[in-house]
Structures are given as structure tokens and as C-alpha cells.
Amino acid sequence: MIKEIKTEKLPIKMWLDDVESGALEQARNLANYPFAVQHIALMPDCHQGFGMPIGGVMATQEVIVPNAVGVDIGCGMCAVQTSLTDIQRPDLLQIMSGIRSRIPVGFKHHKRAQDLRLMPSVEDERNMPVVDREYDSATRQVGTLGGGNHFIELQKGSDGNIWVMVHSGSRNIGKQVADYYNRMAIRLNEKWKSPVPRGYQLAYLPIDSREGQQYIREMHYCVDFALASRKLMMERSLNVIKSFIPGGFETAPMINIAHNYAAFEKHYGLDVVVHRKGATKASTDTVGIIPGSQGANSYIVKGKGNINSFESCSHGAGRTMGRKEAIRSLDLAAELKKLNDQGILHAIRGRRDLEEAAGAYKDISKVMQQQEDLVDILCELSPLAVIKG
């Protein structure tokens, strides 16, 4: 931990030396939240979000807060180490083209529903109204990348091996669940004359209520859907790579970790709901993934179980500027030169793509230094080629 603020009802423990004003204001709101316990933790990639800062961790009792999970429920990372030690650039170009032809990106979906066995099972649709409503659409979205900061990347590890990494979430079904229950929470909080100011954007649902239990079921479904989607994209990406590698190759078990969810855990002797919004679980010996920005290194890590962070760490580098600001202010030629000089097959084609340029993000090496008490680095991964939506 680098800094601690003690001016609010609860302390704010920070793994960064400076935080933007909007994110700090949101953290202060969390620290004064009537259902929050112990303290608030801010990871080194912290920046402003909706209601709760990205890179924030809050433990509550009695309630669960949809906006403290966010709209991309279950968004996370998966990575696979292969036995390959090299891929020639001509093959790399064809591989990336092959992956793009098999995995829809951006707003694109599959034209047909995918095999229903790829979808998480729906045990009781009556208790999941949003999932029931969105299920058919989701069968065409499973195994699709989406846009924003989601990516598929081929990397060379410090272990000498080629790795494949996927960052994706729950697509529209996650957003629909998030919006539905946040609106419900706002409506109910007004009815109950909630002690939480509406301006906090942190309306809650009691855990033991019918609405709270319904949200928890649908949230868990979205987490499972996001994992199923990542697994499918990883499988299809590896199949494309194998089609260009005579004799094939071996793969290690897939590493998977989510960073937008709420979990029932025990901390400081208390049974709590830990809300991780853009934060990754880093309990003792948990293997996780911390990606860099486009063109920056990523890391396979092992958690240290630091109780001060509620056994959490950052989920990435973290933004230094918003998407519109990045498009407006970054130098396209300079950003392209940085990527081209590294020989990376990247996804920046024009000014609009600058929203995901490295210049819009924090320095991942500094982010890793700031959380040395949260994780150990197992493997450092350098980018070779990236696909973005």
C-alpha cells in the first residue's frame, strides 16, 4: 500500500500515489457508504467509472450493489501457454486474419445461434427474467469479442513460449442484467427513502430480498456466460494457429480470471460481499492475469493474499484519459511509430482507434511496481499481434 486517506467514515487504502479527482470523489462516496465495512481499496489502475471507480474494491454487509459490479458483468481474462517458441511473421499475419474470420468483433455477432451446449445451463428461467429474455440473442453472441478494450493477443513469454490471451466480457446480456437491476434498485431505494444519496449512483438491493437473490442468480449466469465466451474464442483461436503449424503443438490448462463481479467472502472475521469493479482476485497462490495496454507487456501473476486489498490486485494498466480525449489529443503518427518500431501487428488504423492506444493508458511497469505486495510475477508476456473490436 502506498497511501491511506482517513478523512472519511472508512479509510481509503490506495496502491497508487495519485488518483484523478473524479475517481477520488467516488472513493470518498464509497468510504461513507452506510453498508460498506472495514475500508475501501483502490488498485494502481484506478480511474473514474460510474458510481464506483474502476479498480475499486468495496466490501458490504446486508446489501449488494449492481453499479459496483458494472455493466460488463464477468468481464475478464484467459490465457493459454503453448509449447511453441516462435511464429514467423508471414504465418502470424495469416493466423490473425484467420482468427478475425472466425470470431466476430465490435458490434458483430454470429449469423446463427451457436451450439447450445456451449452456453451455461439455465436451471430455472422463472427466476432469471433478463437471462430468459436475452437468451436467444446471447446464443449468437457467445464466442464474440465485442469492442472497447477487449482483445485477442498472441504473445512471447519470458519463459520462451508463445501465449494466447483473450480479454472479453458478457456482451449485451451482461449490460441488460446490470441496467435492469440498477433501475430496480434506484426505484426501490426511492420507495424505501434510502440513506444513500442518489448522486452516489450506488443504489442497493438487500441480499435477503427476492430482488437481491434474483440479481445474484443473473449476475452469476453472466459471469458463467463470459467464461464460456472466452473459452470458445480461445479454442477457435488455437485451432486457427494449429492449422498453420505442421505437427501441431501442446497447450497448458487455460488460466481464467474475472474482474467485474461481487463475491461472498470472509474478511476480517466478517461475512461480506466483496465488489470488485475492474479488480482481480489475488488470494494466496491464485494465478491471475494483468494485461497491459495495446503494445505493452502483460503479466501472469500469483496472488499474495494481502488482506488490506481484500485479496485483490489491478485488472490492467488503467486509463489516464477518456476515449474521446484520447482521440482528440493523442498523436496518431507517434502512436503508430511506437507500435511499428516494436514490430507488433496492431489494431490502430486511424484516429478513432486512438481510444485504445498505449498513450491513453498508464505505464504497466509502474502499475506492477505499485502492487508488489499484492502479487508475484510468474511470467512477463510481450505482444506479437493483437486483434481489437
Give the CA radius of gyration of the chain.
Answer: 20
Q: Among 336, 342, 356, which residue's Cα sits nearest to residue 384?
A: 342
* Beta carbons of 221 and 133 less than 8 angstroms apart: no
As a whole number of angstroms, the distance between CA 234 and CA 99 comes to 10
Residue with cell 513460449: 161
Q: Among 64, 46, 60, 81, which residue's Cα sits nearest to residue 259?
A: 46
As a whole number of angstroms, the distance between CA 236 and CA 252 comes to 16
With H, G, I as helix, E, B as strand and everything else as coil, classify residue 61: coil
Q: Among 296, 286, 301, which residue's Cα sits nearest to residue 359?
A: 296
* Beta carbons of 316 and 292 less than 8 angstroms apart: yes
The residues assigned a catalytic role are: 315
H/E element, 299: strand 298-303
* φ, ψ dihedrals at 40, nearest 5°: -110, 140
Q: Are strands 12-14 and 76-81 parallel, antiparallel or unpaired?
A: unpaired
